[in-house]
Each structure stands twice: as structure tokens, then as C-alpha cells.
Chains A and B, each alone.
Chain A
Amino acid sequence: MNNQEAKFILSAYRPSGEDACDAVFAAALEQVSRDPGLAAWFAGQRALDVATTNAICSIPIPQDLRANILAGAKISRRRFWGRRPVLLAIAASLVLLAVINGVVWTHQSHGDRWQSDALAVISTFVPGQEPFDHKATDSHELQQWLQAQHEPTVEVIPAALQSLPALGCKTISSAGKPVSIICFKMRDGGLVHLVVTDASTLKDAPPKQPRFARKGDWITASWTENGRACMLATKGAGQELRDLLPTAARVRADHFLAGTLTMTARNIVAGIPALRRSVGSRLQLEPTAPPAAIGCMVGIAATA
């Protein structure tokens, strides 16, 4: 080893002496001990290294850097984990909407005429000038009036609806069959309408579990109870509609929604090839959801 090679190697020798036992430096250090000229160079090099180390280690640090790092890390963690519930909530809401949309897609084409006719009449109502057959703020009074007129009505008005002030009721004829409408005012000022007809006269009566649908601006829930085909309709949110359902129907609705969600989750997987490949075999896919629902699900996946 000549001095030039020794200098090359010793350039990586730390001034703290930590590398004294490293075999890579052994020969170079040996050379230093033999050559006074090289030893002088090495001493100068180490003195310069120490001075440079001290100089660089005295570069001032911004006073707020440490606090900013710690605060930033906390915010980052909170943001990372904290936003998950928000994302989940958004995803859950979208799933619910997708379910409703999916159900709408499935059922709106059935075109239950009594429902369409009732909504058509309600849509002509001018606020404050509704052409009610009977006006009352007490829904019991309206119910009794309808019974007295031998018009169709539910045996018991759902408790949640009873707590709302009524506006009045109207009877119409749909394909020669009587249909009654009771209007209620919701707490947010919006209206919700209970439409009832005799289920036995219908070819395609609603099921016992409430069926949600969107008809234009309207969100509806329809079900059959004690021989009466019922529909709740509002231009508000689906969740509000669900809360106004009769208790039993609401329970059935929740079971129904839960089942549909499970099914929809499978359909999400069915709609995404990569997911299908990874978990499809375990889920026993049932790709029964309408394309609109799957499209919405893919949107959710992309959003999340």
C-alpha cells in the first residue's frame, strides 16, 4: 500500500476512533505508524474532521422545528385514523343510497298504478290550497272520517306519523278502486303523505317488508299490512321515511336493508374483477344487483 492508497482509505476513518478495529483500515493505519509524513497528514486530516464536525453540528436549528414535528405527527395520525370513520360514514351513506337506488331500479318499473295516480294528484297540491276532502290537524279525526266514508284506511296510524300535525285527507279513484291520502307536515316543514288502498284488489300488492323506491322527486316506501296496501311518500330523505314507518314495518325494513346490504357487498365484489379474484370464492357470489348499484359501488370504492 502506498501513501496515496492509504490516504484514500483513511478519508473514511471517523475522527472518533470507532473504526480502529475495522480491518479495512488496519493496513492504512499501519502505514501511518511507519511514515511520519503520512502521520502528519493524518493528524491534520483528523483535526480538520473534528473542526468540521463541530461546525456542522452547530448549525442552528429553527426553534419551532421540534414542536412542529411533534404537532405535525399528531395531526397526521389523527387525520389518517380520524378520517376513517368519516370515510366509513360517507361510504355507508352512499351504500344506503345505492341500495335505495338499486331497489328503485328493481321495482319502479312495476308501475303500481294506485301509487302513481296518488302521487300525480299530490303533485298538483298548491301549498296552503290543498283540495282536501276533509281538513284536520288530528290524524285520528281524519282516520275516523275516512272510515265513516267507507274509504280505505289503516287500522292504526303509525305512532311516528301520529306525532306529526295532519293537514287533511283526500280520496281518489285509481282504475275504479278507491285510494285515500292523508297529508302530514314534518318537523322540517316538508310534507309526507300516507296513501292507502285495499290490497285484495291489486294484482301486485306490495310485500310485507317496506319497499323503497324513487319516483321522480319522490321517495316512497310501500308495504302491505292487514290487507291494506300502504305507501308513504315524501320529497325528503329516505332515512326520514324509514323513521316514520310503523314499528313492525320498520323492523322488517331494517332486516331487509341489512340483507340487501350483504347482497350488495357481494355485488360490489362481483363488479370489481380484482376483488372477485381475491375473495369471490369465499363469498359465493350472487351478482343480482342492478348495474346502477354496481356502478355506484365502484364509485364508492374509488372515493374511499
Chain B
Amino acid sequence: MPGLEFEQLVDAHYAALYRFGYSLAKNEMDAADLTQQTFYIWAEKGHDLRDAGKAKSWLFTTLYREFLGGRKHETRFPKVALDEAPEEAVDVPVAAEKIDAAAALEALGKLDENYRAPLTLFYLKQFSYNEIAEVLNVPVGTVMSRLSRGKAELRKALSDQQSEADTRIIEISPFRNEGLARKGESE
């Protein structure tokens, strides 16, 4: 792949890949490493991809595999099987306008990785359930189940977060009043 095309590919996907890596690894350094490693692999192998339209999936799949490759088997395949059957979702109130990047990351970080990966793909790049299944190499039904349950978990995490923020005691600095008093004195 010529240099310019590679640069275009980087521009198109590096931010989303980094954010996907961040949601998986939960720290900036590993996210950056995963992103760079993914493009490094592309530089060596990716140009062999015949269908250029598959580049996006290829990149995300590669990053996910790299992430899994860096983890222990036990962590990757938890012994407790997930119940993939649909269950009654508990709708808890969430103020959408209060969700920012930090809040979203914190909430996502509380989720099991099995939910975090498909949810991040869903939100980040608007991946379809079919594409998510391809990237994560899991059945379509599993993706839908994880999205459903993941969203419920995320909603709960966000709700807890907001409730906690609402009840947090805000400490008022005494210097603020002091400053005002001094200002008043000078007047």
C-alpha cells in the first residue's frame, strides 16, 4: 500500500481504534500500544487484503486479537458461562445530557469485557451486529444478547454514577468568601 493510502487509512481509523483499545485495556498507554501494533501489523500484512472495504473490520479484529493475545487464558475465557438468553431489562433512569467521555469510560470500565467490547464497537463506529460478530468472532445471537445485557449494565452503571454525583458533598473553599470579603473591603 502506498504511503498516502496508508496515511489515509490511519486518519480514518486510528482515533476509533484507540478508543476501542482504551475501552478494552482501560489505560492510555496500552490503548496507544494496541493501536500502533495494529497499524504495524497492517504495514506488514494488511496490504495483502484483497477487499479494501474490509480494512475497517480487519483493523478492529486485529486490535481485539492483539488485546486478547496479551491476556491470560483464564481471563479470556472465564469459567462461568454467560447466560445468553434474553432477560427482563431493568430500566433505571439516566440523564443522557450528563454523560460525558469520562463518565462513559468509567461506566464502561465497570462492565465485563464480554459486554464492553461489543458495546464500544456499537457506539464508536456504528458497527452493525453482523460486523461486531465478525470482529469478535462470535455468533450473531451472542452479539445481540451481549448488546442487550451490556446496555442494561451500562445504564445501571451510569445511573449509579449520577446518583452518587448528586449526593456528593461539595466542599466550599473558605478562601472564596475571604476573597469576596477582601474585595468588598477594598471597595
Chain A residues in the interface with B (C-beta under 8 A): 4-5, 7-9, 11-12, 14, 16, 18-19, 22, 24, 41, 44-45, 47-62, 65-66, 68-70, 72-73, 76-77, 80
In the bound complex, residues from chain B placing their C-beta under 8 Å from that of A14 are: 122, 126, 128
Q: Is the CB of B44 within 8 A of A61?
A: no
Given contacts A11-B144, A72-B36, A73-B6, contact A65 B14 (CB under 8 A): yes
Q: Is the CB of B126 within 8 A of A58?
A: no
In the bound complex, residues from chain A placing their C-beta under 8 Å from that of B40 are: 72-73, 76
CA–CA, A9 to B99, complex, Å? 24
Q: Is the CB of A59 within 8 A of B86?
A: no
In the bound complex, residues from chain B placing their C-beta under 8 Å from that of A11 are: 144, 147-148, 151
Extra A-B contacts (16), CB below 8 Å, given A8-B86, A72-B39, A73-B10? A8-B148, A9-B144, A12-B147, A12-B148, A48-B94, A51-B96, A51-B97, A52-B99, A52-B154, A55-B99, A59-B18, A62-B18, A65-B14, A65-B32, A68-B32, A72-B36
Q: Is the CB of A56 within 8 A of B96?
A: no
Q: Say whether B22 faces chain A, with CB atoms less than 8 Å apart.
A: yes
Q: Is the CB of B105 within 8 A of A59?
A: yes
CA–CA, A16 to B122, complex, Å? 11
Given contacts A60-B101, A65-B35, contact A47 B128 (CB under 8 A): no
Q: Is the CB of A69 within 8 A of B99?
A: no
Q: Say whether B120 faces chain A, with CB atoms less than 8 Å apart.
A: yes
In the bound complex, residues from chain B placing their C-beta under 8 Å from that of A76 are: 40, 43-44
Q: Is the CB of A55 within 8 A of B129?
A: no
Q: Is the CB of B96 within 8 A of A50?
A: yes
CA–CA, A49 to B94, complex, Å? 11
Q: Is the CB of B123 within 8 A of A53?
A: yes
Q: Is the CB of A41 within 8 A of B14?
A: no
Q: Say whether B103 faces chain A, with CB atoms less than 8 Å apart.
A: yes
Closest-by-CB residue of B relative to A44 is B91
CA–CA, A52 to B121, complex, Å? 12
In the bound complex, residues from chain A placing their C-beta under 8 Å from that of B143 are: 12
Q: 8 Å CB contacts to A: which residues of B56-114?
A: 86, 88-89, 91, 94, 96-97, 99-101, 103-105, 108
Closest-by-CB residue of A relative to B28 is A62
Given contacts A48-B96, A48-B155, contact A73 B39 (CB under 8 A): yes
Q: Say whether B171 faces chain A, with CB atoms less than 8 Å apart.
A: no
Which DSSP category, helix, strand, loop or mixed, fits chain B's interface?
helix
Closest-by-CB residue of B relative to A41 is B91
Closest-by-CB residue of B relative to A22 is B128
Q: Is the CB of B39 within 8 A of A8?
A: no
Chain B residues in the interface with A (C-beta under 8 A): 6-7, 10-11, 14-16, 18-19, 22-23, 28, 32, 35-36, 39-40, 42-44, 86, 88-89, 91, 94, 96-97, 99-101, 103-105, 108, 120, 122-124, 126, 128-129, 143-145, 147-148, 151, 154-155
CA–CA, A69 to B7, complex, Å? 9
In the bound complex, residues from chain B placing their C-beta under 8 Å from that of A5 are: 86
Q: Is the CB of B32 within 8 A of A56?
A: no
Which DSSP category, helix, strand, loop or mixed, fits chain A's interface?
helix
Given contacts A8-B86, A14-B128, contact A61 B122 (CB under 8 A): no
Closest-by-CB residue of B relative to A19 is B128
- A-B contacts, 14 listed (Cβ < 8 Å): A4-B86, A12-B148, A45-B151, A48-B96, A52-B99, A53-B126, A59-B104, A61-B15, A62-B28, A65-B14, A68-B36, A70-B6, A72-B40, A77-B43
In the bound complex, residues from chain B placing their C-beta under 8 Å from that of A57 are: 16, 19, 123-124
Q: Is the CB of A8 within 8 A of B144?
A: yes
CA–CA, A55 to B16, complex, Å? 12
CA–CA, A16 to B105, complex, Å? 21
Looking at the assembled complex, report how far the CB atom of B159 sits from the nearest CB atom of chain A, in whole angstroms: 11
Given contacts A57-B124, A76-B43, contact A12 B129 (CB under 8 A): yes
Given contacts A7-B148, A56-B124, A73-B40, contact A66 B14 (CB under 8 A): yes
In the bound complex, residues from chain A placing their C-beta under 8 Å from that of B94 are: 48
